[in-house]
Chain A
Amino acid sequence: MKKKIKIALVGNPNVGKTALFNALTGAHQYVANWPGVTVEKKTGKFTWQEYEIDVIDLPGIYTLRARSIDERVSRDYLIQERPDVVLNVVDATNLNRNLYLTIQLSEMGLKTVLILNQMDQVKNMNIKINTSELEKRLGIKVVETVATKGVNLDEIMKAALSSTPPVKYEIYPTHFEELIKKIEKLSQETLKDKSIPLRWLAISFSEGDELARKILRENGLLEKCEVLLSSIQDENPSLIVARARYNFISSILKQIEVRPKESWTISDALDHVFTHKILGIPIFISILWMMFQFAFSASTPLSDLIDLGFQALANYAHAIPGWLGSLIGDGIISGVGSVLVFVPLIFFMFFAMGMLEDTGYMSRAAFLIDRLMHRFKLSGKAFIPMILGFGCNASAIMTTRTIESEKERIISILINPFISCSARLVVYAVIAGAFFGKFAGLAIFSIYIVSIAFALSMAVVFSFLLKSKESSPLTMELPRYQLPTGRGLWIYMWSRGKHFLKKAGGIILGATVTVWFLSNMPVGASVQNSWAADIGKALAPLFAPLHFDWHITLALLFGGIAKEVTVTTLGTFAGGNLPAFLKTVLDPINAYALMLFVLIYIPCVATQAVMRMETGSYKWPIFSVIWSLSSAYVIALIFEIVGHLVVAL
């Protein structure tokens, strides 16, 4: 029987907790060089000697005072679940700030091992750290790592399992320590839940923490404690606490750390250019444009190759006689194939995004455009989910948890589906490829511009509707620039891209087979008389003003499941030549209107489910579906009317 233990990873944002998590568990969680990537706790398992270890990767926090959901997740976990060991991951180049949390963890009475991560950077910056002395002064085990390059598991586990006596730093002024003891004593006698760490409770209460106050109130101690606290009259208690912690930290650091004089680093030099008043924004736009160009150009040859492969396969399949040949050839291969052709495009897109995130450029981008976002009633924090939305809206919506203001969070969730995700890219690529020839790239880029403009203007509309005035205060850290590692990029690209492959093998395949079935039933009927045609024709009058015929209508209907299905559905009707087929049912103006419609019309099923989960109510996904469907209709209609008028002139 293996012994079970729970280990939690805790630390400031962006210090490498997830990298350590991956190194420990062999998992491939997505990490990036910007704060706030992990917004929910992730669990993994590994075994070491006779131990079975549950590892929990918690969202990054600066202090144990919780404001936003991700911070609350971490704090509540530590208080309620009481992990056996906490690995406190710190950025070794910035101990002064990172050890603040370490002190708070000790106050929670948690067994802590300090993981000095990014030791390679410490060497690069010529900082000297006396680890064994640090260990002595803190009274806890300290382990040096470079988590992105793998870790020494034995060393970490030995430290985690070693029996060190609990530490208690009596660092506050005497009268304050007495106050803490009084509150501790009071609560020890009355508190029903014996697992609540008393020192944490007493200190957090005096700092004004809501959770601590709530616990005391529930036990009828709040008033007594407030009387005790008011006896300290000199200064703001939270300031006394913070200052004492920092004094303690700097007294330790004086003994164990030698830093070279701050000098102009490469990071500073890069920032000078990337955040430049005049050059900053043009550079940002060029980088985005390069990202698109790179993804499209690099993927085209591969996509063509895959396309040829599928055509050959379809030809073989057609040789199979009867309905089976048709199912495989027309249904599965042309349907799913028409989506898989875009796998290289999606992967290259993620590769480019991974580059931007790993280097640390993203938070600079947030800095540059915060003012603009502000004008649209959003904060720079809302910018992060928007950028991630270009990958997948469903996962992007989860990252809205870092936004503190509830209304702003709802707005960010509602506008996210208007950010064009990678699944929709597939639809545009097919349509633009068929109609706009060498201007296809430009047509697609313009859709992305519309996507951003529409999302931002909807933010204004929604914040008016929700009467949201406050946008959350913003404190975003600018991490050091770093070179992305090949391993990191691979994990990034694969963890996000595989989602697309899974979808192709699962929901998209299923939907495609269903469509094939519907379009071949009743047996022997031509497509024109099939059940699919019946459904499509029944709905088509609704879309007649948009000049979408029943094929398109049906494709859009199924596209609600996953946007790629729009393409696979058309693929099953096309009989092998999708562009030629599209030209028979659309003209270029209708085609662009269709692209606009696909951009806006409804969040896919997965996104709706996440909306429901994140807002805790069906109200918002339903609102989102109705709102986006009607706006898509209106916008596509206006475009068609105006477009046809212009052409007629």
Chain B
Amino acid sequence: MIVALKDCPENTRCELIDSDIPDSLKSRLMGLGWLPGKIIQVVRKAPMGDPTIYLVDSTKIFLREEESRMIKVKPLYPAPLAVAEKGKYRIVKFFGGGPRFTERARNNGLFVGAVIEVISNPLKGKIIISTRDGEFAVGRGFSEKIFVEPVRR
């Protein structure tokens, strides 16, 4: 699924597809190694959610949401549930979130190795998923910490 860079949570790795940013900024980003096909790692969001530090080619830079919303990327799996499109996935790991988080997840049928299905993901608001325990909605904060990988048939 192609998403805006700004929608990628921390620790996502994604491939740069294209950007609609002004030409001048684009050329500076190119000078920093930001070319289509390059892998961008989302390192950290600032305390108020913006800007975000990204890592490309061992150089860390930070960008604001105004720019990162115009940059299109393809998340690489394992990716956070937050950017997963419709389909079946296996949970690979949890990122961040303490033992209480994992326990809460487990109670909802979410644990490492579990297979889940994303019913709908509007990239804003809640994601509808179904597990063996049934269908339910997960919040964005929650979905950013669960890393999944598509299940191939």
Contacts and interface: CB of A to CB of B under 8 A. Distances in A.
A370 interface: yes
A476 B62 contact: yes
B67 A473 contact: yes
Contacts of A197: none
Interface in A354-370: 367-368, 370
Contacts of A207: 27
B61 A97 contact: no
Given A367-B53, A370-B64, A475 B32 contact: yes
Nearest to A472: B25
A371 B50 contact: yes
A67 interface: yes
Interface string B55-80: 00111111110110000000000000
A619 to B, nearest CB: 28
B97 interface: no
Contacts of A275: 44, 46, 53
A648 B116 CA distance: 71
Contact of A97 (B48, B57, B67): B57
B62 A370 contact: yes
Interface string A231-256: 00000001100110010000000000
Contacts of A97: 31-33, 57, 59
A278 interface: yes
B55 to A, nearest CB: 9
A55 interface: no
A488 interface: no
Contacts of B118: none
Given A473-B64, A474-B63, A474-B64, A65 B24 contact: yes
B31 A478 contact: no
A549 interface: no
A278 B28 contact: no
Given A238-B27, A238-B30, A246-B33, A474 B51 contact: yes
B33 A63 contact: no
B31 A63 contact: yes
Contacts of A473: 21-22, 25, 63-64, 66-67
Contacts of A277: 45-47
Contacts of A155: none
A526 interface: no
Given A246-B35, A278-B47, A380-B51, A367 B28 contact: no
B133 interface: no
A101 interface: yes
Given A62-B32, A371-B49, A94 B58 contact: yes
B36 interface: yes
A477 B49 CA distance: 18
A96 B31 contact: no
A25 to B, nearest CB: 28
B27 A262 contact: no
Interface in A322-341: none
Contact of B29 (A246, A404, A475): A475
Contact of B27 (A65, A94, A96, A371): A65
A614 interface: no
A368 B62 CA distance: 10
B126 interface: no
A579 interface: no
B121 to A, nearest CB: 24
A97 B31 CA distance: 7
B101 to A, nearest CB: 15
A3 to B, nearest CB: 35
Interface in A247-288: 262, 271, 275, 277-278, 280-281
B48 to A, nearest CB: 4
A478 B62 contact: yes
B61 A62 contact: no
Contacts of B22: 473
A67 B24 contact: yes
B interface SS class:
mixed
Contacts of B27: 63, 65, 207, 238, 242
Interface string A471-498: 0011111100000000000000000000
B26 interface: yes
Given A208-B23, A370-B64, A477-B59, A242 B45 contact: no
B46 A370 contact: yes
Given A65-B27, A67-B24, A478 B58 contact: no
A374 interface: yes
Nearest to B48: A371
A370 B32 contact: no
Q: Name which of A63, A243, A473, A474 has the most chain B CB atoms within 10 A of its CB.
A: A473
Interface in A60-95: 62-63, 65, 67, 93-94
A278 B46 CA distance: 10
Contacts of B32: 62, 97, 475, 477
B28 A475 contact: yes
Contacts of A474: 51, 62-64, 67
B15 to A, nearest CB: 14
B46 A63 contact: no
Contact of B28 (A62, A281, A368, A370): A62
A370 B61 contact: no
A367 B51 CA distance: 7
Contacts of A281: 47
A478 B52 CA distance: 11
Interface string B76-103: 0000000000000000000000000000
A262 B24 CA distance: 31
A100 interface: yes
A271 B24 contact: no
Contacts of A477: 32, 59-61
A212 to B, nearest CB: 13
A6 B23 CA distance: 33
B108 to A, nearest CB: 25
B56 to A, nearest CB: 9
A67 B28 CA distance: 9
A541 B71 CA distance: 61
A477 B43 CA distance: 13
A473 B27 CA distance: 13
A239 B46 contact: no
21 contacts: A65-B24, A94-B57, A94-B58, A96-B57, A96-B58, A208-B23, A239-B36, A242-B30, A271-B43, A275-B53, A280-B46, A368-B46, A370-B62, A371-B46, A371-B49, A374-B50, A380-B62, A473-B63, A473-B66, A473-B67, A478-B60
Given A94-B59, A477-B60, 13 more contacts: A65-B24, A67-B25, A239-B30, A239-B35, A371-B49, A371-B50, A372-B48, A374-B50, A374-B64, A473-B64, A475-B29, A475-B61, A475-B62
> Top 8 nearest A-B pairs by Cβ distance?
A62-B31, A63-B31, A371-B48, A478-B60, A242-B30, A65-B27, A67-B24, A473-B25
